[in-house]
Amino acid sequence: MNLDLTARQAEFRDEVRRFVHERLPADIQARLRLGHPPRKQDTVTWQRILNEKGWAAPHWPREYGGAELGQAERLILLDELFRASAPLPQVFNVGMLGPVLLKFGTDAQKRHFLPKLANLDLWFCQGFSEPGSGSDLASLRTSARREAAHYIVNGQKIWTTTAHLADWVFALVRTDAAAKKQQGISFLLIDLRTPGITIRPITSIDGQHHLNEVFFDEVRVPVENLVGEEGRGWDCAKYLLMNERTGIANVGLCRERLGYARELAGRLTEAGRPLLDSPKLRGEMAMLDAEIRALEITNWRFLLSSDTAQKTPGFASVLKLKGTELQQDIAQLLQRIAGPSAMERRPHDGDSDGAAHWAGPLAMRYFYSRAASIYGGTSEVQKDILAKTILG
């Protein structure tokens, strides 16, 4: 497949590259290049800069703050952000809830929420998973009973990324316990300041606080915060998860991390010689490079040919599975290049020099990369889908 960009696409890539070069704050770029996750303020600052161009939500209609970019331009933009070690637009707002509101939301919901999602005036998190309901999401038990103009929500969510930083959560709740599994579920927008909500931190294996448990005790949610029809929340969830999968190959991220591995291996020495002199290491990097290239081609085929995507439903699973494996392989490679220094863990958000030490973030990143084969649908579940849809 020919992956050459058209003249217009190349022009767009150059425009994005120039913009990112001129506007991305150097301290944010330096932190992310070292392997730290973006701080909330990094994402807010950068997303607002991107939003000036409509590039925070590039696929949305212009009237709601987007730039109406096609698939190819979106991918080019994403690659350039990764290439520059820039934060990505906040995924729950832009990649998940935005598209759901555009398809299922009322006019009032679209007008109220979409501009705020694009500009990160509101930070949303995703309240889907529950204890015992992850891969089998439709078994969820958090309930919402209707009382006049409110739903009363009770139950628990878990693994809620950034709930402690968020203003709102979009949640799947069961509004009809008697209906068949998928049919009794509704999609609600819940203000996290509402009385009855408790957020408890979960520390993950990287020693950081990204995750939370969220408890709901008689939480009153106005009925106008229902998205789509009552009992049809599963349609919203399916649509959202489809959107989540589209960007999940993370080709640009793999390339950026491999580039960093090459840079480090050129700088670090063993017995007076750069690590990069090792033919074994170079061979390993060349293999990873080839795999990234193959994934890139698969990604373009998936995005540009809706026919292929429809005929082969397992395509998205290939991207998720392979993208995850590559991310994990590269995180592991970086960890090995850093050697014992990588075992030093530093808080990414410390007051002093969280960003100054180069090796600490690699260990955190390595540990966190293990989660990539769990969130967004586990690797085992992707393999099940592949077995059914492609192998038959």
Residues that bind ligand FAD (CB under 6 A): 125-129, 134-135, 159-161, 211, 371, 374-375, 378, 380-381, 384
Whichever of 167 and 384 has its CB closer to ligand FAD, that residue is 384
The per-residue DSSP string of 180-225 comes to -GGGGEEEEEEETTSTTEEEEEE--TTS---EEEEEEEEEEEEGGG
CA dihedral 137, 245, 309, 385 (to 10 degrees): -40
Whichever of 309 and 374 has its CB closer to ligand FAD, that residue is 374
Q: How far is the CB of 108 from ligand FAD (least distance, A)?
A: 26
Whichever of 128 and 302 has its CB closer to ligand FAD, that residue is 128
**Measured between alpha carbons, how far is 62 from 376 in angstroms, rounded to an integer?**
28
Whichever of 175 and 373 has its CB closer to ligand FAD, that residue is 373
Q: How far is the CB of 13 from ligand FAD (least distance, A)?
A: 31
Whichever of 29 and 162 has its CB closer to ligand FAD, that residue is 162
Q: How far is the CB of 144 from ligand FAD (least distance, A)?
A: 16
Which of 73, 80, 130, 244 is flagged as catalytic? 244
Q: How far is the CB of 184 from ligand FAD (least distance, A)?
A: 18
Whichever of 242 and 286 has its CB closer to ligand FAD, that residue is 242
Phi, psi of 295 (to 5 degrees): -65, -35
283-295 burial: b if 16+ Cβ within 10 Å, else e: eebeebeebbeeb
Q: How would you classify the pairing of strands 124-127 and 168-174?
A: parallel
Q: How far is CA 336 from CA 85, 100, 329, in A?
A: 21, 41, 11
Q: How far is the CB of 135 from ligand FAD (least distance, A)?
A: 3
Is 80 among the catalytic positions? no
Q: How far is the CB of 190 from ligand FAD (least distance, A)?
A: 13
Whichever of 297 and 381 has its CB closer to ligand FAD, that residue is 381
Q: How would you classify the pairing of strands 168-174 and 150-158?
A: unpaired
Nearest in space to 184 (alpha carbons), one of 229, 245, 214 = 229
Which residue minimizes CB distance to ligand FAD? 134
Pair of tokens at residue 78: 């994403």
Q: How far is the CB of 186 from ligand FAD (least distance, A)?
A: 16
Whichever of 5 and 374 has its CB closer to ligand FAD, that residue is 374
Q: How far is the CB of 327 from ligand FAD (least distance, A)?
A: 13
Phi, psi of 213 (to 5 degrees): -100, 145
List beta partners, residue 156: 215
Give, in degrees to the nearest 5, the angle at Cα 66 between 227 and 9. 135
Nearest in space to 265 (alpha carbons), one of 249, 252, 276 = 276
- Confirm if 137 and 148 have CB atoms less than 8 A apart: no
List beta partners, residue 133: 130
- Angle, helices 71-83 vs 251-267, to 10°: value is 20
Q: Which residues have a catalytic role annotated?
A: 244
